[in-house]
């Protein structure tokens, strides 16, 4: 009873926080002048007025996905299948672009390929390219796709590497007995991991489609930025809502397709134990290729952007100025991020448990329902929150005018992720561990507090850290709903980009990156020092 | 007094009946084993009795009090006072041996000094005092088994449930732990329901055995009854090695075997087919025997040989201490047989 009430309470909380705003927003967009109307949807779908914007969004997402796949699959392959100099170093470094906000990479690359950027000057001098065309590239759809792919390739890399490591070696060895390396790759290895790659591509596509930061930075007219413009510049919230509709439909369809694909193919190789032996190749040419590929990737995705930001800061004094400018934003980011991550961890713990460890018949449906919200674009979530909570006469001012509205935004956007992470940790825990507590007559709260939580401490810490990283980098929803005096660092950065010197922007970007990477570093130290003290399952 | 009574228990998962109306009872202080192949519903039955699963139909009485009727739970999991040893032991890896055992006592609100006394006693009884502060991962397989048993009996449960606790350990250790389980069960006199697919465990430990198949109880009886007097073909074939030969019923108490017609009780059946059942050691190679056959296969089993004998169109298995060459023609006699299936 305790368990059922607790879990349903958290599901209800998520439902209220996430589903209501979105449903309310769409519901109200269907009313015009006091009656039912499709006028805004008619504009979008039947006049062709927005066809170009939808097409640009799809091109951006498709090209970013292709770029990310071209970077991620080979990187994952080399990291999984061969050994080469600095492999582990590359493996750790390639996580960085994934965890820092995508627009920080965008800021760096607009420096690099901007009119005064060093790579722009180098390419125009030695490769006879026009500086204007290089500049135009980075501010184009393809430039945005290139930047987004740097943010997303680690996702595909990790999935590819994990999938390759879970192919039992006899499957490839039996192929090598009668075929060449390339025949085995083509006939055995890649067909086996293709569902995983497909899944990674789908996730990358959805992320690119719903991305707001990079297109906004590059002033591209795509769906997410158009929604923001309609809402904040033209105050046409119904048009903004209607524009969100195709975005939501596309993302939901793709997420469901990905879910269906991964379930029907069942990620067969991903489901196996990671402890089994997997095949590695020790050809010299493969090692050299791995080293060269990873070095180039490292240069493009990490060294160049970071050096560019560091160089453009010029002097230490700039950090002081930037810090003074963004002090409030930094404090708010840390405080809101900390509170948000803590709430998300608690919500994730119970939702993860509900979707993984219960025997509810609706469990699968609930899991998919929760996961779909991860695909809801940030700007859509923001508008939904405003529509629901910004009531006449300030009825909900205690939420709308406070940190509460930002925290609800975090729940909409990241509770699906935190619950998925916790669910994965719960999956590894045998049911008997909990049953052993239950047969002693312990209440479910006692079992949760004394058995589940201590055993899931890795999961809880990992969920908190990941939630914190996402919360402090969140821009799309927060920028729409933050009350005065509650701006976060990304908002400060977004605001000063237009009217501050490049060195201040770079310094702020580095501060944000530092704030993102710091908890990850602390987590690694904690896991190395504290968690190794006791053996855990 | 009956510590446990199960009546017409049914459990359905995904529209499939996993437990199909089983009934049995366990006398106070006795050990009953549910013996059966994988997937026959024995673990599900155990989990229903523990209160982990809710039955669809049937009644469960614990100490003659109604614990559940159909889907209605009359005695909650907490009030059932049941100890359970899981197949994977389910020791909590973040707790020491002491803390693992202490959890149930804490749950029951036992005071700290009393808890310590009880834990020390139980650790002493399994000779594990010096491992009180050790984590489960640092223990050997056998030690883990003992800790799991200690954890399950520390609260002096009315009923102890054991779900294949010996399934993951090697043969030698298995024998030692089996003896330890028997000793602890007899010393504590806790009514125990033991689930296994291993006949040796069942024969060694049990006062009575319930053989299960496809969600139903095929036979309940003492180990000797189960072994020597199986009541169904399944029990005859599942428990121990056996010979089952098809015969024709020629009339009341008359059957036609491959070796000729003979007199045998037929339970008032006058025609049709049936099977006669006999164990390999109930067959003796004997020059005065009335059956003839040829040895077609010989397996060396250490202290004895297992022979496959082809005789009158059927193949039977027998045990003998003497060595004979394959191909030899022998005479044999069947000391005892039973008609098991009509």
The residue of chain A with its CA nearest to that of B78 is A441
Residue B24 contacts residue B36 (beta carbons within 8 Å): no
Residue A532, pLDDT score = 56
Q: How close, in Å, is residue B303 to chain A by CA atoms?
A: 40
A535 touches chain B (CB under 8 A): yes
A window 430-459, beta carbon within 8 A of B: 430, 432-433, 435-443, 446, 450-451, 454-455, 457
The residue of chain A with its CA nearest to that of B85 is A436
The full 3-state SS of A366-385, as one line of letters, equals HHHHHHHHHHCCHHHHHHHH
Q: How close, in Å, is residue A84 to chain B by CA atoms?
A: 35
Structure tokens given for B325: 């060459």
- Taking 90 as the threshold, does the pLDDT of residue A166 lie above it? no
CB contact under 8 A, B78 and A451: no
B88 touches chain A (CB under 8 A): yes
- Taking 90 as the threshold, does the pLDDT of residue A101 lie above it? no
B82 touches chain A (CB under 8 A): yes
Q: Lowest mean pLDDT: which of A153-157, A395-399, A401-405, A472-476?
A: A395-399
Rounded to 5 degrees, φ, ψ at B75 are: -120, 120
What is residue A483's DSSP assignment? P
A52 touches chain B (CB under 8 A): no
Residues of B in contact with A450 (CB under 8 A): 103
Indicate the pLDDT class of residue B206, thresholds 50, 70 and 90.
very high
Instruction: Give residue-wise pLDDT tens across range A470-486.
Output: 899 898 899 989 999 99
Residue A326 contacts residue A514 (beta carbons within 8 Å): no
Q: How close, in Å, is residue B84 to chain A by CA atoms?
A: 7
Number of residues assigned to chain A: 537
Residue A63, pLDDT score = 97
Q: For the purposes of burial, counting CB atoms within 10 Å of the CB of A179, is it exposed (0-12), middle (13-18) or buried (19 or more)?
A: middle
Of A433, A446, A454, the CB nearest to B90: A433
Of A439, A455, A534, the CB nearest to B82: A439
Instruction: Give residue-wise pLDDT tens across range A285-320.
Output: 999 999 999 999 999 999 999 999 998 887 888 889
Indicate the pLDDT class of residue A250, thresholds 50, 70 and 90.
confident
Q: Lowest mean pLDDT: which of A231-245, B5-19, B71-85, B136-150?
A: A231-245
CB contact under 8 A, B77 and A432: no
B104 touches chain A (CB under 8 A): yes
Nearest residue to A251 (alpha-carbon basis) of A210, A221, A213, A212: A210
Residue A419, pLDDT score = 93
Instruction: Give residue-wise pLDDT tens across range A115-128.
Output: 878 888 888 888 88
Distance of CA A167 to the CA centre of its chain: 27
Cα A57 from Cα A67, distance rounded (Å): 15
The residue of chain A with its CA nearest to that of B91 is A433
B window 117-136, beta carbon within 8 A of A: 135
Complex ipTM value? 0.79
Cα B139 from Cα B146, distance rounded (Å): 10
CB contact under 8 A, B84 and A436: yes
Residues of A in contact with B97 (CB under 8 A): none
CB contact under 8 A, B90 and A436: yes
Instruction: Give residue-wise pLDDT tens across range A23-81.
Output: 888 888 887 777 888 877 887 777 777 888 999 999 999 999 999 999 999 999 999 99
Residues of B in contact with A451 (CB under 8 A): 92
Residues of A in contact with B152 (CB under 8 A): 439
Q: How close, in Å, is residue B97 to chain A by CA atoms?
A: 13
- Please name the helix (run of DSSP H) or strand (run of DSSP E) that holds residue B309, with its range, or none: strand B305-311
Instruction: Give residue-wise pLDDT tens across range B78-110.
Output: 889 999 999 999 999 999 999 999 999 998 899
Residue A266, pLDDT score = 43
Query: Most B CBs within 10 Å: which of A439, A532, A535, as the mutation test of the B interface?
Result: A439
């Amino acid at each position: 009873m305790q368990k059922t009430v607790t879990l349903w309470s958290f599901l209800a909380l998520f439902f209220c926080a996430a589903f209501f705003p979105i449903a309310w927003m769409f519901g109200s967009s269907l009313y015009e002048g006091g009656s039912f109307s499709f006028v805004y949807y008619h504009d979008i779908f039947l006049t062709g007025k927005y066809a170009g914007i939808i097409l640009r969004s799809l091109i951006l997402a498709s090209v970013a996905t292709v770029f990310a796949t071209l970077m991620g699959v080979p990187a994952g392959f080399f990291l999984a299948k061969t050994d080469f100099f600095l492999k582990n170093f590359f493996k750790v470094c390639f996580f960085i672009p994934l965890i820092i906000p995508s627009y920080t990479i965008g800021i760096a690359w607009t420096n690099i390929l901007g009119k005064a950027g060093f790579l722009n000057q180098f390419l125009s001098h030695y490769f006879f390219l026009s500086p204007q065309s290089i500049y135009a590239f980075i501010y184009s759809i393809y430039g945005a796709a290139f930047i987004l792919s740097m943010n997303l390739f680690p996702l595909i890399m990790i999935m590819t590497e994990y999938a390759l490591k879970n192919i039992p070696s006899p499957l490839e060895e039996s192929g090598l007995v009668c075929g060449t390396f390339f025949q085995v790759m083509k006939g055995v290895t890649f067909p086996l991991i293709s569902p995983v790659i497909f899944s990674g591509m789908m996730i990358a596509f959805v992320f690119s489609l719903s991305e707001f930061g990079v297109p906004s930075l590059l002033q591209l007219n795509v769906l997410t930025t158009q929604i923001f413009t309609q809402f904040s510049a033209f105050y046409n919230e119904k048009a903004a809502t209607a524009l969100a509709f195709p975005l939501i439909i596309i993302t939901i369809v793709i997420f469901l397709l990905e879910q269906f694909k991964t379930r029907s193919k069942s990620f067969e190789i991903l489901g196996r134990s990671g402890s089994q032996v997997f095949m590695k190749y020790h050809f010299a040419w493969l090692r050299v290729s791995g080293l060269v590929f990873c070095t180039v990737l490292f240069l493009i995705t990490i060294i160049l952007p970071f050096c560019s930001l560091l160089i453009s800061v010029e002097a230490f004094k700039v950090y002081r100025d930037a810090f003074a400018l963004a002090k409030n934003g930094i404090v708010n980011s840390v405080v809101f991020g900390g509170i948000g991550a803590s709430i998300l961890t608690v919500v994730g713990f119970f939702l993860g448990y509900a979707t993984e460890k219960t025997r509810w018949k609706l469990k699968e449906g609930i899991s998919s329902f929760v996961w779909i919200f991860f695909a809801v674009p940030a700007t859509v979530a923001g508008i939904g929150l405003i529509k629901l909570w910004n009531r006449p006469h300030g009825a909900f001012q205690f939420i709308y005018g406070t940190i509460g509205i930002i925290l609800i935004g975090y729940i909409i956007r990241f509770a699906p992720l935190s619950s998925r992470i916790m669910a994965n940790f719960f999956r590894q825990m045998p049911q008997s561990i909990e049953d052993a507590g239950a047969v002693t007559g312990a209440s479910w709260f006692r079992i949760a507090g004394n058995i589940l939580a201590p055993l899931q401490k890795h999961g809880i810490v990992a969920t908190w850290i990941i939630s914190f990283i996402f919360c402090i980098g969140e821009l799309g929803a927060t920028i729409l709903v933050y009350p005065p005096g509650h701006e976060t660092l990304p908002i400060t950065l977004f605001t000063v980009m237009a009217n501050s010197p490049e060195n201040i922007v770079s310094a702020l970007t580095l501060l944000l990156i530092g704030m993102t990477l710091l908890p990850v570093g602390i987590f690694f130290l904690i896991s190395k020092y504290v968690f190794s003290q006791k053996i855990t399952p | 007094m009956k510590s446990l009574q199960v009546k017409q228990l049914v459990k359905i998962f995904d529209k499939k009946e996993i437990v199909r109306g089983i009934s049995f009872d366990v006398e106070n202080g006795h050990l009953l084993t549910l013996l059966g192949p994988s997937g026959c519903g024995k673990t599900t039955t155990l989990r229903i009795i523990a209160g982990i699963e809710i039955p669809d139909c049937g009644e469960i009485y614990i100490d003659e009090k109604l614990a559940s009727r159909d889907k209605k739970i009359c005695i909650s999991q907490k009030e059932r006072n049941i100890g359970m040893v899981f197949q994977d032991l389910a020791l909590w890896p973040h707790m020491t041996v002491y803390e693992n055992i202490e959890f149930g006592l804490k749950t029951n609100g036992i005071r700290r000094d009393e808890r310590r006394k009880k834990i020390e006693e139980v650790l002493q009884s399994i000779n594990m005092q010096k491992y009180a502060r050790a984590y489960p991962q640092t223990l050997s397989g056998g030690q883990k088994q003992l800790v799991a048993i200690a954890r399950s009996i520390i609260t002096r449960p009315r009923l102890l449930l054991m779900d294949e606790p010996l399934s993951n350990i090697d043969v030698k250790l298995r024998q030692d732990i089996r003896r330890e389980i028997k000793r602890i069960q007899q010393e504590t006199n806790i009514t125990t329901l033991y689930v296994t697919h291993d006949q040796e465990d069942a024969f060694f430990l049990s006062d009575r055995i319930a053989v299960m198949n496809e969600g139903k109880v095929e036979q309940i009886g003492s180990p000797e009854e189960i072994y020597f007097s199986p009541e169904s073909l399944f029990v005859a074939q599942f428990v121990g090695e056996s010979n089952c030969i098809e015969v024709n019923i020629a009339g009341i108490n008359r059957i036609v075997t491959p070796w000729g017609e003979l007199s045998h009780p037929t339970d008032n059946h006058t025609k049709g087919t049936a099977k006669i059942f006999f164990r390999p050691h109930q067959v003796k190679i004997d020059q005065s025997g009335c059956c003839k056959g040829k040895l077609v296969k010989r397996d060396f089993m250490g202290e004895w040989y297992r022979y496959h004998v082809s005789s009158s169109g059927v193949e039977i298995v027998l045990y003998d201490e003497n060595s004979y060459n394959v191909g030899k023609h022998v005479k044999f006699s069947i000391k005892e047989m039973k008609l098991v299936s009509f």
